Amino acid sequence: MKKSTEPVLTPAESPMRERILGAAFESFTEDGYAGTSTLDIATRAKVSKRDVYAHFGSKHAMLVACIKSRAERMRLPLELPPPQSRQMLASTLTAFAVNLVREGSHPSVIATFRLAIAEATASPEIAQALDSAGREPTRCALAELLANAQSTGLIGPGEPAEMAAQYLGLLWEGLILGLLLGVIATPEPVEVERRAARATAAFMLLHAAPATEK
């Protein structure tokens, strides 16, 4: 008997699971967690309630899965090339920032933050999942880049994690809050690039290379 060459999908990879997750996310963001029933999700996904429970044990599990899957959009490449010059450091920071703002300000990511905030009191683990799956890897990657820059004498002393937080503060400048409140539109590519370049320029001014001892 000839064996099938078709790939076997695990439950986590199945198209039905992804369809259920998409339907759940749409329902949660439109009607809120409390206002969404498992039947609503099943109907939107065009599956049975039994199918829903076969992939997710509960509505809460679906919410956590939605948060984690959307958080993946914020996960940037974590292996940044060690900079060999201040010019290379500035270029790497700017490219990093452009990607971060572009992905972090995407409407689906903003909707995910709103959803996590709305459920933070009742389910604090949801916000923790969003932070650990999306934001923390990005902060760590940036801190590692800055630590490498310090080791080669491109920037002065300081705690890399704190410097990373400073750079991110310069980069976002209230953009996330404005997006969450709906008072700022998703930035256009030219604005993203301008914001990234401005943050990098300000950061490089704040962190000059250490003076060479004579």
Which ranges in 13-85 belong to alpha helices (H)?
15-31, 38-45, 49-55, 59-71
* Ramachandran class of 212: left when φ > 0, alpha when ψ lies in -120 to 50, beta otherwise: beta
Three-class DSSP category at 167: helix
Return the pLDDT at 87: 95
Regarding predicted confidence, which is higher, 83 or 131?
Answer: 83
Domain ranges in the chain are 11-57, 71-206
Q: How far is CA 42 from CA 64, 65, 75, 161, in A?
A: 17, 16, 29, 43
Residues in the chain: 214
Q: Provide mean pLDDT across the span 188-202.
A: 97
State the Cα–Cα distance between residues 147 and 141, nearest whole angstrom: 10
Q: Tokens 């000839």 belong to which residue? A: 2
- Tell me: domain 11-57, CATH 1.10.10.60, correct? yes
Give the model confidence (pLDDT) of 50-81 as tens digits.
Answer: 999 999 988 888 888 887 777 666 555 556 67
Rounded to the nearest angstrom, the gap between the alpha carbon of residue 78 and the centroid of all alpha carbons in its chain is 12
71-206 — its CATH code?
Answer: 1.10.357.10
CA-based torsion, 96, 172, 202, 134: positive or negative: negative
State the Cα–Cα distance between residues 4 and 145, nearest whole angstrom: 46
pTM of the shown model: 0.77
Give the model confidence (pLDDT) of 91-134 as tens digits.
Answer: 999 998 998 899 889 888 888 888 888 887 877 877 787 777 77
